[in-house]
Copies of this chain bind each other. A is one copy, B any other.
């Protein structure tokens, strides 16, 4: 199976996101949200949603608003995570973080607006049935909530750093939204079985862990400029605690284990498997170049 055309999918998401968030007043919350949301990014979660829908015979148009909503949630979570009271990061994707540029008050409102906007988009999602919209809303709110992103970030704030805790942090901070991204894609398909949905959730979970393992490696080995964000804030966590070559090797091994699980969950011939392999190669090349 050929690799999905990632550039086309990314551009599709970018164009739709541009439609979904208003310009707003200069220096206001909507402008700050757009600054962060439209600054780039891999759109990995959105691409998972779109690819999952296609894998199960769904149309891109049915999955597109869910894909965008998940990117909006992800963007909101980055804005909140970067705040001084959280990770206190000055740089993100190579430019000033939202609070550094617009102030903390506007950054918080931008985050709220993006979260709320994501749910508004889901409640109005184009080319979907009422049942699909509500299904997606339940999936995404579960991913964000007390047992999802909010939980993962809270654990991260006062983590003791046992392996079990680190897994729980990654499950919440990264895994939950990857799982939701994959499952929402399935919901957008015309007739996805409960077994398919379970496989999609396993895929999302494994890919989330793989992504996080590689991100930890990159966080350790790449300097501020190359990574485009303030690094070292997550220092002392997970494989990053090992440092140097050992860190790269053990992190890569861990990521590969999870990539293998992701591929296994959906079967080698699925477009989702090609996507997992592409991400694996992308990260390996990035680490090698660093």
- Mark A residues whose CB is within 8 Å of B: 21-22, 24-25, 28-30, 80, 83, 85-86, 103-106, 108-109, 111-113, 115-117, 119-120, 123-124, 130-131, 133-134, 137-138, 141-142, 144-146, 149-151, 153-154, 157
Contact = CB atoms under 8 A, between A and B. Distances in A.
B109 A137 contact: no
Contact of A86 (B105, B115, B151): B105
A148 to B, nearest CB: 8
A123 B105 contact: no
Contacts of A86: 105, 108
Nearest to A33: B146
Contact of A141 (B29, B104, B119): B119
A108 B134 contact: no
A69 to B, nearest CB: 11
A157 B106 contact: yes
A136 to B, nearest CB: 9
Contacts of A109: 150, 153-154
22 contacts: A21-B146, A22-B146, A28-B154, A29-B146, A29-B150, A80-B108, A80-B112, A83-B108, A85-B103, A86-B105, A106-B157, A112-B149, A113-B145, A113-B146, A113-B150, A116-B144, A119-B137, A119-B141, A120-B141, A123-B134, A124-B138, A130-B130
A86 B86 CA distance: 16
A124 B142 CA distance: 11
Contacts of A154: 25, 28-29, 106, 109
Contacts of A29: 146, 150-151, 154
Nearest to A122: B137
Nearest to A157: B105
A162 to B, nearest CB: 15
A83 to B, nearest CB: 7
Contacts of A137: 119-120, 123, 137
A9 to B, nearest CB: 26
Contact of A145 (B117, B134, B141, B149): B117
B28 A112 contact: no
A9 B165 CA distance: 42
Nearest to A147: B22
A117 B141 CA distance: 7
A120 B138 CA distance: 6
B117 A146 contact: yes
Given A109-B153, A130-B134, 18 more contacts: A21-B146, A24-B146, A28-B154, A29-B151, A80-B112, A83-B108, A86-B108, A108-B108, A109-B150, A109-B154, A113-B145, A116-B141, A116-B145, A117-B145, A119-B119, A120-B138, A123-B134, A137-B137
